[in-house]
Structure 1
């Protein structure tokens, strides 16, 4: 994968100065006799002939100050003639923050022969003769080292800084006692770099391509390296399973097996998205070129890398130390400073006045307790402090031995609260929502359903009861940061029943009046007409309402709809033989009809009405009026039996007497005129000239008046 994102960072790892790639070339001008000796020669003599440096000075550092890195240092030559060397290298080997940390040689006037060179990228200070190539006595270097001081420009620095003081150029990691060196070699492939590293020695220590197994090692061998370089990781054995394949056997382990930017199963520091084996042949680990992604992280490259650009190999990282039979060297010493910090504080509180115990911890040094953010009085030392008797919240301050950057620790005094008011008693008409309220002089309110129960219904100055159906008591308790006086105040709800009303629909007769009644006695009434009595009189149709209020001020509204009904008026009556239809001038669905004055129906059509003079009726169903009209049914009998038995002894058309102009003529079967009937003579007894006529069929012609059509028919005379 090729990284196009360039990151600017302020923290850089230690860089390595170039060194020879094989044992035949000196590593540095340590002294006039110091050269790299092959491991096959006497390692014991290499060790014996090496100078020795020791240092003390594990100290605490306070921000915004300058602190000498050693309290004492000593350099001993390998023999009586070994009294000088060309350079001393002092490096911040762990915890280095580029842009903040600095090593500086102080009191320059006391060291006129020594030049100092600070390299921020590597976090390294080089002490050497002001005349290049000229050596300096160990005793002068000792004096100079004692005047080298560390400082940090940040207001609140943190962490631990380890300093390595070495007589050689290779960078020294005190944690594991190993040395690291970057070898520049443009275009070298991984196999060649591995072979070159394995032929290198450093004061009898066997070299190998670096195996980076921890973050401090990655910092020293990556972020602060002067160039990109090969390291000893490969997945040639199994694709995606990366192992350290160089160095001591203990380091030759699987360090990554597929985790994304993670440490699986041990430490790894891959660049974002790596390893990806993008072209199928990227099987060798390489520290990322500066500016190509995360500084000091790793890419997977093919054996030869690219021909140019960010992924062209620029060299390799050699690690010394940890191999079998390696000699023990003392050409490096280390000291440590710790920037003490308050790592945690535990404020405390109490209900009402009293003492409060506070706690604090520090990364180093002793916790000091003060009564002010700066200056003030030292109250106590140690991780725990118990205050004096307090009536109000008080802030104390702690530091870890430095007078700056104090941390506040608050002792809180919580006042015990009191309920100052409630809105008890809360009433409402009928079931529904109710809001209870309470106030406190400080803090908040917890609401409960019982005087002693623990279940909190709600918190706040109000409690909404969404559907209260009966009289209920709730309880309010003041609470201030967990402090309470334990006194719960009752807040009551009373539910009153509103009047029960029923809406009505009433009929008002045309031009009449109607009494409207609220129906519930002993109440307060408010009609939509403005009247306040239980009953009112109305004469017009409308929708009326009355608000009925009881003694608990609960109200219900009754609605009375008044509709006006007309009085029926008969327009005409149609008679077709025995069928009668009553027609009104204005038909309404609330009218009903009758032809006998007793039985009424909603239909205006009647069948089989009895012959004779009749009366038609139309009325409003609520007795708002009635109308009537007479009519006649003229029905000719089908037969008659003139035998003086009082049943059907004559033939007559009933109701004929109501039509003065009516005339009925009767003929026998031969067309002979037998009789004429009219209103004056409405019946025939079956004789002609007082002689009985025989049983037979006879015919009639009925004419009501001159302008009406004739009606013809026949009947039988039976004897």
Structure 2
């Protein structure tokens, strides 16, 4: 296999040995690396001396793949070669894009037919190696035959996407999208600067090497996830902290516009100025970390450099090699567009998104069956029911169902209540139904906007007769014949409540519903327009207009029973009297002369003597009376024989035959006693006029009443 030249081997040997010693690695690792490199270099040198041209590999195959099957990766392959070179040590086939680890696999389908070839499958890299079991070169003709029998398989029924296969003579990974080659070179503990020097000193079939630059997701997956190891790549911010650039190969000096840093990286701290592929198991698989020039110096540390990735191709003046070819498979997908439903019957045209290289077949069963048509669109026959068709992109497991819907137009709606009556303004509940679908309600026979949906519909408040219309529809299929539902508003009887109708105790009062010619339902059970009430309380009567209106109104009458008044007592104070009842009510009024009545129960300036209190109910109910006496004690008298106030006497005492009044001077001396036979005092004691002064009296009416005491003045 052509590899690196003689000059290169010595440079790499020197660099790897120097930096490996710095990293304290065992000498056996260096010797093994050097031995392999020297062996490859000798072979390369021999071929260079013979001026052998590199082989030219041409393969074709752009195929459709159905998951869980096997498919040959090429439809044809040829390897043209120099007559002096009939074979090579190994040929590599890699799933270079779209690789699904653990599900995708490459294998030789009939190894017994290729006894000179053994295979080795690298599941991490997605790479199959074809080589000799003895380590000798394998003839190109035998490799051609073997590649024709290499098959691809995917074990998942839901697999999707495209897979690209790179077929390469040589160990380097080939990426069709860049036409570049990528090779991981292991070297434990090598620094970034040493790796850069070693990479630039190497060549691959004449292509100059450099630390790999990554410009796309395809490159990131191939270098980061599918490479055989992790190591340095050609990015750095050593020139300006935080300003990451590619500093190797044809991209040198360009900003790293495509980045796939590990979580939290780059942290732009210290001297971590160089990009390194992150070791598997640390953060995001295939991502990058920023490390110092040496990385970790601890053996086995995840951040200890394990080598570097060399990229070949794209340098100025270089022509692409033809030692690699690529083919691809596409797992077909189809996304049919569901057509709009139709009403009753008709045809549908089902379309799919544009597809390239995929032939769509149409079926009416999910598996098997006979194709109904081919192409990106399919027109059904006339259908009068819903039906499901299937778009098949070439894999039965990838058939996609599309259901075309035929909705029947509903019948004309029906209603059990074409006329709905209501008593007075308000909302009305309308009802209508249809054999299928939904009922919509409209205010006119031609209105475009409905005001409600459903078999029942409650209208807004209605004050006058009106009509609503019901229309049946089924998922957009409308029966244009609307049925009217009439609403009739009747006026209920106008009744007026009555409050506090007086009822004299022991009598009766007539209650009247107030409107003649109606139907009546009293709370007492009576059905007449009027009833007689003998007790107080609340009475109601439902007044209903005759059919067909039958609109009810309820009248409420409250009856207040007015009791016959009962006098509890009458209290007097001089010429003032207050009448107290056993139960006070607002409907009572009072009088002390039988003519002039008032709401107040207190009277003033009542003449002395026997008086009568009158209490009556204001509406003419029965009243009551009671006599009482006003006693007037003069405050003074002037016994000077001028005929005015010549004697002191108690006015009204004549109404109490047993009453006695005793008069005393200021020292308590009894001066005289008045009674029914002697009603006044002239101011003399034993016929001798007493001096002007204050004198005291005590009135005892009888044994049932308290003694009344007071004083008066004698003036001379």
Q: TM-score interval w.r.t. the shorter chain? A: 0.7 to 0.9
1:53 to 51, 54, 57: 57
Corresponding residue of 2:315? 323
In structure 2, do the counterparts of structure 1 residues 248 and 22 end up closer, same or farther at CA, with 3 Å as the change threshold?
farther
CA shift for structure 1 position 539: 2.6
| 1:374-413 mapped onto 2 (5 Å cutoff) | 374-413=367-406
Contact 2:332 2:394 in 1 (8 A): yes
1:597 aligns with 2:590: no
Corresponding residue of 2:173? 171
2:476 to 466, 476, 482: 482
Residues 636-683 of structure 1, C-alpha deviations (whole Å, 9 max, x = no match): 89999xxxxxx99999987677566789999xxxxxxxxx99999999
CA shift for structure 1 position 148: 1.6
Residues 584-630 of structure 1, C-alpha deviations (whole Å, 9 max, x = no match): 34444543321122333333221112345432112234443311123
C-alpha separation between the residues in 2 aligned to 1:480 and 1:662? 108
Contact 2:637 2:647 in 1 (8 A): no
In structure 2, do the counterparts of structure 1 residues 364 and 514 end up closer, same or farther at CA, with 3 Å as the change threshold?
farther
| RMSD value, Cα | 4.2
Contact 2:5 2:44 in 1 (8 A): no
CA shift for structure 1 position 83: 0.9
2:274 to 278, 281, 284: 284
1:608 aligns with 2:605: yes
Residues 687-719 of structure 1, C-alpha deviations (whole Å, 9 max, x = no match): xxxxxxxxx99x9999897987698767999xx
C-alpha separation between the residues in 2 aligned to 1:530 and 1:22? 127
SS at match of 2:141: helix
C-alpha separation between the residues in 2 aligned to 1:70 and 1:709? 143
CA shift for structure 1 position 535: 2.5
Residues 98-138 of structure 1, C-alpha deviations (whole Å, 9 max, x = no match): 22222222233322211122222211111111x33111111
Contact 2:6 2:41 in 1 (8 A): no
Residues 244-284 of structure 1, C-alpha deviations (whole Å, 9 max, x = no match): 222213x64333xxxxxxxxxx432233x331518544333
Corresponding residue of 2:566? 569
Corresponding residue of 2:112? 109
Contact 1:30 1:167 in 2 (8 A): no
Corresponding residue of 1:305? 295
Contact 1:436 1:491 in 2 (8 A): yes
In structure 2, do the counterparts of structure 1 residues 136 and 611 end up closer, same or farther at CA, with 3 Å as the change threshold?
same
Corresponding residue of 1:549? 544
Contact 1:369 1:385 in 2 (8 A): yes
C-alpha separation between the residues in 2 aligned to 1:63 and 1:450? 60
C-alpha separation between the residues in 2 aligned to 1:104 and 1:710? 141
| 1:613-692 mapped onto 2 (5 Å cutoff) | 613-633=610-630
CA shift for structure 1 position 191: 2.6
Corresponding residue of 2:342? 350
Residues 122-175 of structure 1, C-alpha deviations (whole Å, 9 max, x = no match): 11111111x331111111111111222222222243222211111110000011
C-alpha separation between the residues in 2 aligned to 1:74 and 1:484? 67
SS at match of 1:219: helix
1:540 aligns with 2:535: yes
Contact 2:336 2:350 in 1 (8 A): no
Q: What is the number of equivalent residue pairs in this alignment?
A: 661
In structure 2, do the counterparts of structure 1 residues 284 and 681 end up closer, same or farther at CA, with 3 Å as the change threshold?
same
SS at match of 1:602: coil
In structure 2, do the counterparts of structure 1 residues 710 and 401 end up closer, same or farther at CA, with 3 Å as the change threshold?
closer
In structure 2, do the counterparts of structure 1 residues 375 and 512 end up closer, same or farther at CA, with 3 Å as the change threshold?
same
C-alpha separation between the residues in 2 aligned to 1:62 and 1:98? 18
C-alpha separation between the residues in 2 aligned to 1:246 and 1:178? 15
Deviates more, 1:456-465 or 1:18-27: 18-27
Contact 1:51 1:76 in 2 (8 A): yes
Corresponding residue of 1:139? 141
CA shift for structure 1 position 391: 1.7
In structure 2, do the counterparts of structure 1 residues 223 and 367 end up closer, same or farther at CA, with 3 Å as the change threshold?
same
C-alpha separation between the residues in 1 aligned to 2:433 and 2:294? 80
CA shift for structure 1 position 90: 1.0
CA shift for structure 1 position 485: 2.6
Corresponding residue of 2:506? 511
SS at match of 1:248: helix
2:445 to 438, 451, 454: 451
Corresponding residue of 1:360? 352
C-alpha separation between the residues in 1 aligned to 2:500 and 2:201? 116
Residues 554-587 of structure 1, C-alpha deviations (whole Å, 9 max, x = no match): 3343333334333222344333332122233444
- Structure 2 unpaired stretches of 5+: 10-33, 639-643, 664-672, 682-691
Contact 2:616 2:623 in 1 (8 A): yes
Corresponding residue of 2:197? 195
Contact 1:509 1:566 in 2 (8 A): yes
Residues 429-478 of structure 1, C-alpha deviations (whole Å, 9 max, x = no match): 44444433332222223333333333333343333446455544333322
Corresponding residue of 2:44? 34
Contact 2:5 2:203 in 1 (8 A): no
C-alpha separation between the residues in 1 aligned to 2:677 and 2:374? 147
In structure 2, do the counterparts of structure 1 residues 622 and 190 end up closer, same or farther at CA, with 3 Å as the change threshold?
farther
Corresponding residue of 2:330? 338
More helix by share: 2
Give the TM-score taking structure 2 as reference length: 0.80
Contact 1:501 1:556 in 2 (8 A): no
Residues 389-447 of structure 1, C-alpha deviations (whole Å, 9 max, x = no match): 22222222221234443222222222112343335434444444443333222222333
Deviates more, 1:704-713 or 1:454-463: 704-713
Contact 1:448 1:474 in 2 (8 A): yes
CA shift for structure 1 position 529: 2.4
Give the TM-score taking structure 1 as reference length: 0.80
Deviates more, 1:109-118 or 1:27-36: 27-36
1:581 to 578, 582, 597: 578
- Structure 1 unpaired stretches of 5+: 1-17, 256-265, 641-646, 667-675, 685-695
| 1:426-465 mapped onto 2 (5 Å cutoff) | 426-465=420-459
1:71 to 66, 70, 75: 75
SS at match of 1:439: coil
In structure 2, do the counterparts of structure 1 residues 19 and 626 end up closer, same or farther at CA, with 3 Å as the change threshold?
farther
In structure 2, do the counterparts of structure 1 residues 181 and 433 end up closer, same or farther at CA, with 3 Å as the change threshold?
farther
C-alpha separation between the residues in 1 aligned to 2:582 and 2:372? 113
Contact 1:509 1:565 in 2 (8 A): yes
1:148 aligns with 2:156: no
In structure 2, do the counterparts of structure 1 residues 200 and 617 end up closer, same or farther at CA, with 3 Å as the change threshold?
same
2:248 to 246, 260, 269: 246
1:81 to 84, 87, 93: 84
C-alpha separation between the residues in 1 aligned to 2:40 and 2:361? 47
Residues 218-238 of structure 1, C-alpha deviations (whole Å, 9 max, x = no match): 111111122222222233444
Name which structure has the greater RCO, CA cutoff 8 Å, separation 6+: 1
In structure 2, do the counterparts of structure 1 residues 503 and 383 end up closer, same or farther at CA, with 3 Å as the change threshold?
farther
C-alpha separation between the residues in 1 aligned to 2:247 and 2:455? 71
Corresponding residue of 2:686? none
1:296 aligns with 2:286: yes
In structure 2, do the counterparts of structure 1 residues 651 and 85 end up closer, same or farther at CA, with 3 Å as the change threshold?
closer
